[in-house]
Amino acid sequence: MTLVKAGGRALITSTYDKVDQTAVHWAAQKGNLDVLKYLVKMAGSAMLEEVSAAGMSAVHFAAGGRCALRATLITQTNNVPVLEYLLEQLGAEVLVVRDGRRNLPLHHAVANNRLCIVQYLLAQAAAAEPPLTKQMLDAQNAYGQTSLHVAARNALTQVAQVGRP
């Protein structure tokens, strides 16, 4: 992490790219837990709550990310451990945090057909005190769509069946 050491905390906390995302957003989206932890160590956990121009935080980006371990030229990615870390750092209430279009992390997981992340988010919602499952399943985005609407719109039968009897 030579770039971070050279640029210091200010490089992490004040640098947004052209789509208004921070390095924390990219690490969460790409499932790079080691980089995410390092950035938080260098800049503090408040960076996990920073939002993009679309109002998306690290948990929204992570929820739309990958399920399976995917090897790239540089690293291996899997977003479930990133989500585990984010919930550990921020608490279960991040499950019901809305982005700029009022989407929950669950909406992002469904829209990207991430079955393992949908299952993980619903399991965490059920385990929360008080349980957040109904609140998550009933939540409508700015277009009046629940996560089930998003699954139906995208013909995601397997995702649509999760969480409903």
* CATH code at position 127: 1.25.40.20
C-alpha closest to that of 59 among 35, 34, 92: 92
Query: What is the reported pLDDT for 67?
Result: 62
Query: What average pLDDT does the structure give for the chain?
Result: 82
Residue 108 placed within a domain: yes
Given a contact cutoff of 8 angstroms between Cβ atoms, the answer to whether 4 and 42 are in contact is: yes
- Domain holding 128, by residue range, is 2-160
Residue 97 placed within a domain: yes
For residues 71 and 115, the model is more confident at 115
Domain count for the chain, please give it: 1
Query: What is the reported pLDDT for 15?
Result: 62
Residue 165 placed within a domain: no
Residue 165 has pLDDT above 70, yes or no: no
Residue 78 placed within a domain: yes
- Residue 16: CB atoms within 10 A of its CB come to 13
Residue 36 placed within a domain: yes
For residues 3 and 56, the model is more confident at 56
Given a contact cutoff of 8 angstroms between Cβ atoms, the answer to whether 24 and 40 are in contact is: yes
Residue 113 placed within a domain: yes
First vs last C-alpha separation in the chain = 47
Residue 142 placed within a domain: yes
pLDDT digits (tens, 9 = 90+) for 56-74: 999 999 998 766 555 554 4
